[in-house]
Structure 1
Amino acid sequence: MLLVLLPASAAFNVAARPASTPCARAAAPRLTSPLSAPTHPAVAGWPDKYAGTLGAATGPRVLHDAFAVEAADIALLMELDVANWPTWTTAGNDRWLPNVTRKDKEMPYGELSYLISGKLEIVPKETGLPVVVNPGDVVTFPEGFVSDWTVLEELTWHYYLY
């Protein structure tokens, strides 16, 4: 049995959804590999870091063309196969200390992230308006997105690079 970690001790059984269950969302381009920066260390080894099956009825896909933060529901998490995405944390990482702002962070690749725990403030350069990412949110970071990041609480999230 495969479980996804959700905030507030909630979990769901990925195996409970039959593989043939149609998705309610319209089909979008499926991710097959990170194309934008294949030599970047964070992208090295993709898609092998993804433990699911690419091209199956479920799996990662681009949700938005622009930066977006949205609350995830169980159906979306199952559709994206978040349980098989790698996990990353700021714990023990001096580069991501709480309440220290990293200015002008540019995404050299696209990334989907699902926040399991913690809190992150992102201030996009385009708008200057702070956006707080909370547990249970899915974030789309397009390639080239520039923003300031402040870890408000130690982060743990699932991520998929494209």
Structure 2
Amino acid sequence: MASVEKGGIEIIKNPSESKLTELGVKSWPKWGCPPSKFPWTYSAKETCYLLKGKVKVYPEGSDEAVEIGAGDLVVFPNGMSCTWDVSEEVDKHYKFD
């Protein structure tokens, strides 16, 4: 289970079912959105698991996008400002710490 950190965002590609169970992902609330582009600032650390969708996240001050999609477990740090560019409808479980 490889974890990649890019632009302050941690991405775990296709985490194991046991890892998801350990975290309790299926009990987390769900959120979704259609293709769109919007700014976002994290007021707490967010861990999310994408059930479907494709997103390019542009951390503030960076021209480089961080690509996330279905099957990714992603951790966004507290205080991060970014722009979400959703190219495929998103459905995700999420948790704020």
| TM-score normalised to structure 1 length | 0.51
- Partners of 1:80 and 1:129 lie apart in 2 by 29
Query: 1:161 maps to what in 2?
Result: 96
How many equivalent residue pairs? 90
SS at match of 2:54: strand
| Contact 1:67-1:145 at 8 Å conserved across structures | no
Aligned-partner SS, 1:132: strand
* Structure 1 position 83 matched with structure 2 position 29: no
Which aligned pairs between 1:42-57 and structure 2 lie closer than 5 A?
Answer: none
SS of corresponding position for 1:77: helix
Higher RCO (Cα < 8 Å, 6 or more apart): 2
- Please identify runs of 4+ aligned residues in structure 1 that moved more than 4 A: none
Identity across the alignment (%): 30
Deviation at 1:80, TM superposition (A): 0.6
For 2:28 and 2:78, the matched residues in 1 are separated by 19
Unaligned ranges ≥5, structure 1: 1-63, 91-96
1:127, distance to aligned residue in structure 2 (A):
3.6
- List per-residue Cα deviations over 1:3-54 (Å, max 9, x = no partner): xxxxxxxxxxxxxxxxxxxxxxxxxxxxxxxxxxxxxxxxxxxxxxxxxxxx
Deviation at 1:126, TM superposition (A): 4.6
The structure that is strand-richer by fraction is 2
Cα deviation, 1:60-103, whole Å, max 9, x if unaligned, reads: xxxx8x4212212212111111111111111xxxxxx41x4224
Q: Determine if the alignment matches structure 1 residue 68 to structure 2 residue 4.
A: no
Within a 5 Å distance, the mapping from 1:9-158 to structure 2 comes to 66-71=8-13, 72-90=15-33, 97-98=34-35, 100-103=36-39, 105-158=40-93
Q: Greater Rg, structure 1 or structure 2? A: 1
CA distance in 1, matches of 2:38, 2:28: 25
Question: 1: distance between equivalents of 2:38 and 2:68?
Answer: 16
Give the Cα–Cα distance (whole angstroms) in 2 for the partners of residues 101 and 116 of structure 1. Answer: 19
